[in-house]
Amino acid sequence: MSTRGAFIVVEGLDRAGKTTQVSALQTRLENEGILCKLLKFPDRTTAIGQMIDSYLRSQSELDDRAIHLLFSANRWELASTIEKLLAAGTTVICDRYAFSGVAFSAAKGLTFEWCRSPDVSLPAPDLTLFLDITPEAARSRGGYGEERYEKEEMQRKVREVFRRISSELDEASWVTIDAGRDLDTVADEIWSVSRPFTKGLSIPIQRLWM
């Protein structure tokens, strides 16, 4: 098999600096001349993404399972695009993915197994960087925003589910980064962990939770 691009997912709690770090990683890749594409979930630009956006901004109400399935459908909408990019040798960086799907819905009380099922067989990340921050550190960064899940109690529960996900995954593909440190230190660690993956991979694209 010829070399393909790597699929790198960045997950994290709100206020962990995910958006800043994802764009710093993209800049480093581009500076090295590595072809890369940045994606973000939820992708609020599609029809499904607009329903999700309205729900997150509390402009509409949806059953917990219905919104969970919309988040998953939003990933499936882009699954073939991700596969094509990887096959073409592009490194795909993704700001949130299926792990957020499980973490936020399980934190609301849905079972872990039920939450995983609609995402089974999506393209699996080769590397997931989990930006971890304590609720106390998040508070010291100015607290949370206005959206539906940006509340301290919810974030605490989400963090617990992320820990469970991490304990059940292959350690090599899930790396927890202490995001409570200064931005440059965190960016350097993300780069040193990601760099080996950016040289291209010769293994087939893996499937999530199979």
User: Which residues lie near ligand TMP (CB under 6 A)?
Assistant: 41-42, 56, 71, 96, 100-101, 104, 147, 149
Q: What angle do CA 163, 120, 159 make, to 5 degrees?
A: 15
CB of 107 to ligand TMP, least distance (A): 9
Task: Give residue for tokens 């350097």.
Answer: 188
| Residue with Cβ nearer ligand TMP (104 or 174) | 104
CB of 170 to ligand TMP, least distance (A): 21
3-state secondary structure of 59: coil
CB of 176 to ligand TMP, least distance (A): 18
Q: Using CA atoms in the order 30, 124, 15, 109, what is the torsion angle rounded to 10 degrees?
A: 170
| Residue with Cβ nearer ligand TMP (101 or 201) | 101
CB of 131 to ligand TMP, least distance (A): 11
Q: Using CA atoms in the order 162, 166, 167, 168, what is the torsion angle rounded to 10 degrees?
A: 100
For 34-157, where are the E strands, in sequence order? 36-40, 91-95, 127-132
| Residue with Cβ nearer ligand TMP (34 or 138) | 138
| Residue with Cβ nearer ligand TMP (57 or 199) | 57
